[in-house]
Amino acid sequence: MEEQYKAIVNDNFEFSLNSKDLETLDIISNNEKSNLIYNNKSVAVKTLKTDFNKRIYTISINGNRYQVKLENKLDALISKMGLSLGNASVEDEIHAPMPGIILEVNVSEGDEVKKGDFICVLEAMKMENSLTAARDGIIKSVNITKGETVDKGKLLIEFEKND
């Protein structure tokens, strides 16, 4: 079964891709700078900014800036269900965005974390989902253990309140 992807450019244009499409791309890359062969012409592509966790990339092509968000089948399903990965509705708490199994717990009570730090890994629908800190802070409580099965909405991690 072919993996399906979606590329959303500048929140305005949406492109559907599959794994076969990606295999046919002719790209030469060395980290930030890449060349893409398109219509038998080489196009210089420069990566300006990456947010790997959210799969959002800012790139420059011929001097024009584009923000590209990549989504896979799981991302589309989560969005369709009205859920989100790792974004707690309250910044002081991280809740399970869906039912699953805790594969990793990367923090302990009293740990200091920075916004974006990996807090835990939740396996759901055969996909690993890294949940991250929504803000800088200190961990007040850890309510999960590795291997534990959790329901959607369960309080996983609690931060000390910001005053």
Per-residue pLDDT in tens (0 to 9) along the chain, 163 residues: 567 778 888 888 888 877 777 677 777 766 667 777 777 788 888 888 887 777 888 888 888 898 988 887 777 666 666 555 544 444 788 888 888 999 999 999 999 999 888 899 999 877 888 888 888 999 999 999 999 999 988 999 999 987 5
Please, what is the Cα angle at 20 between 17 and 22, to 5 degrees? 60
> Would you give the distance in Å from CA 161 to the centre of its chain?
25
- The predicted pLDDT at position 87 comes to 43
User: Could you tell me if 87 and 67 lie in one domain?
Assistant: no
Comparing C-alpha atoms, which of 30, 23, 25, 26 is closest to residue 46? 30
Among candidate residues 42, 73, 104, the one where a domain is terminated: 73
- The predicted pLDDT at position 5 comes to 79
Q: Which long-range contacts (CB under 8 A, 24 or more apart) does 126-132 make?
A: 127/74, 128/103, 129/85, 129/86, 129/97, 129/98, 129/100, 130/53, 130/86, 131/85, 131/86, 131/94, 131/97, 131/156, 131/157, 132/53, 132/86
How is residue 134 annotated by DSSP?
S
- The predicted pLDDT at position 142 comes to 95
- The predicted pLDDT at position 51 comes to 79
User: Could you tell me if 58 and 113 lie in one domain?
Assistant: no
Among candidate residues 26, 49, 73, the one where a domain is terminated: 73
* In-domain check, residue 37: yes
User: Could you tell me if 154 and 87 lie in one domain?
Assistant: yes
Q: Please state the domain count of the chain.
A: 2
pTM higher than 0.75 for the full model?
Answer: no
* In-domain check, residue 42: yes
What range does the domain containing 33 cover? 4-73
* In-domain check, residue 111: yes
* In-domain check, residue 124: yes
Q: Tell me the CA distances in angstroms from 26 to 41, 74, 145, one per residue in order.
A: 11, 26, 44
User: Could you tell me if 138 and 94 lie in one domain?
Assistant: yes
- The predicted pLDDT at position 103 comes to 94
* In-domain check, residue 141: yes
Q: H-helix or E-strand containing 22?
A: helix 19-23
* In-domain check, residue 78: no
Q: Residues 145, 105: contact at Cβ < 8 Å?
A: yes
Task: Say which CATH number the domain at 143 has.
Answer: 2.40.50.100
User: Could you tell me if 90 and 150 lie in one domain?
Assistant: yes
User: Could you tell me if 87 and 150 lie in one domain?
Assistant: yes
Q: Is 94 exposed, middle or buried (0-12, 13-18, 19+ CB in 10 A)?
A: buried
User: Could you tell me if 151 and 102 lie in one domain?
Assistant: yes
